[in-house]
Structures are given as C-alpha cells and as structure tokens.
Amino acid sequence: MIRSDQSSRVDGLAAPAAILTIARARVVLLRLAPALSGVLIGAAFLDFRLHLIAWVAFAPLFWALHEARNRRETIVTAAIAGVITNILGFYWLIYTINVFGNFPYPIAVLFYACLTTYSSLQFVLFGLAFRRTGWGPLGIAPALAWTALEFLYPSLFPWRMAHTQYLVVPLIQIGDVTGPYGLSLVVVWVSAAVAMTLSESGWRRIAPLGCVIAAVGALYTYGLVRIPAIAAI
C-alpha cells in the first residue's frame, strides 16, 4: 500500500511537470520560428544570390502564427520576425545615414532603431490580418494580405519580396503587368503552401502546393515569352 501510494504521488507530480515542459517547449518554438523567418528574409536581401530561400522564408512565421492562441502571442510572434528581418537585412542603413546624411553615428543608430520599429509594425499588422483570415482558399489569404500591405503600408524605405528575385530575369518580367506585387504575392504564397503541409491534412495539404507550382510556372513561362518579344522591339 505504501509503495502504491508513493507511486501515485510520483505519477501525480510527473504529469504537471511534463505538461510544463511541453508548454515551455511550445513557447520556445513560437519564438524560434519567427526568428528563423526573420533570418531567412533578411538574408535574401543581404545577398540576392540567396533568392531561393525567399520562397520559403515566411513558412516558419506562418506556422507560428497558425499556432498562436491569442492576440498577444500573434503580436509578439510577428514582431520578432519583423525586427530580425529589418536588423539583419538593412543594417547597412546605419552607414548610409551616418555618411550620406552626415549624422553622428549614435544619431544614425537611433534613427535606424526608429525605422526598424516602424517597419516591424508591418509584420504585426500582417500577423493580425492572418489571425482574422486564416489560410483562406488554397492558402492564398496570407499572400494577399502581405501584398496588400506592401502596396498600402507607407514605407520610409520601400522593399518588396519581389526584389529578392531580381537575378532571376524571367520571373521579374511580370513586373510590366503587376509591378513587383504580382511576384511578391506568389513568393509569399509558396511559403504559405509549404507551411500548410505541416499544419493541415488531406487535400488542404496538397492542393495549395499544386497551385503555387502552377503559378510559378506561369510566371516563368510569361518571362520566357516576354524577353524575346522585348528584344525584338
């Protein structure tokens, strides 16, 4: 009886401990995932030869936003991605402000900190939009939300996800029809489709991937047709 009671007490203590461990692991993942997205997005702007990673850069952020349980978690998750993206991808603006703006270095850092905070709000608004819309049909809702923010959010230093692909000449030809926004939409849509393979099941996991493959193929084909047509003018 004594041993049985002791075993029951140990089991009773172990269960809450296991739950606490799982909860802590979840919090860590919800911080690491958007941080990883920030690193990937920033890296794609630091070196345009890394253009391929831009296509999956938002996927960890999408997973974390999908797992967020409340508005606070959504805001924190999105803000982490936004801050790291801006710090890593555009840190060189400090030098620009310092040298070409002729501001003292501490003032340049302060200006850059303000710019980073402001630019990160775009990610927060995006996270809140995702919380309201979810994936949408075929996972396109997040891509539409991000592209709308690229167009509408008043940026002091404009950057678009399409810019990461400027070395891929066929893909950027769609710019003569949609500007950078058509390519941005497809780039972010690919990340959403990848993230859905982790969070969804059945046709909702497969259908978005098929659609984004078709979309990328259509953009590339348009570019291949458009380039010689322009050269012939």
What are the structural domain ranges in the chain? 33-231
Both tokens of 122, joined, read 């775009």
CA distance 9 to 4: 9
Give me 143's structure tokens.
Answer: 């891509």
Burial 16-49 (b: 16+ CB within 10 A, else e): eeeeeeeeeeeeeebeebbbbbbbbbbbbbeeee
Question: For residues 167 and 174, what is the distance between their CA atoms, to the nearest angstrom?
Answer: 14
**Phi, psi for residue 80 in degrees, rounded to 5:** -60, -50
Q: How far apart are CA 111 and CA 156, in angstroms?
A: 12
144 — alpha (psi -120 to 50), left (phi > 0) or beta?
Answer: alpha
Q: In this structure, are residues 55 and 190 in contact, taking their beta carbons and an 8 Å threshold?
A: yes
In this prediction, residue 165 carries a pLDDT of 97
| Cα gap 94→175, rounded to integer Å | 30
pLDDT given at position 191: 98
Length of the chain: 233
pTM for the whole structure: 0.87
pLDDT (tens, 9 = 90+) of the chain, 233 residues, equals 445 555 555 455 555 656 657 667 777 888 899 999 999 999 999 999 999 999 999 999 999 999 999 999 999 999 999 999 999 999 999 999 999 989 999 999 999 999 999 999 999 999 999 999 999 999 999 999 999 999 999 988 889 999 999 999 999 999 999 999 999 999 999 999 999 998 888 888 899 999 999 999 999 999 999 999 888 87
Which pLDDT score is estimated for 22? 66
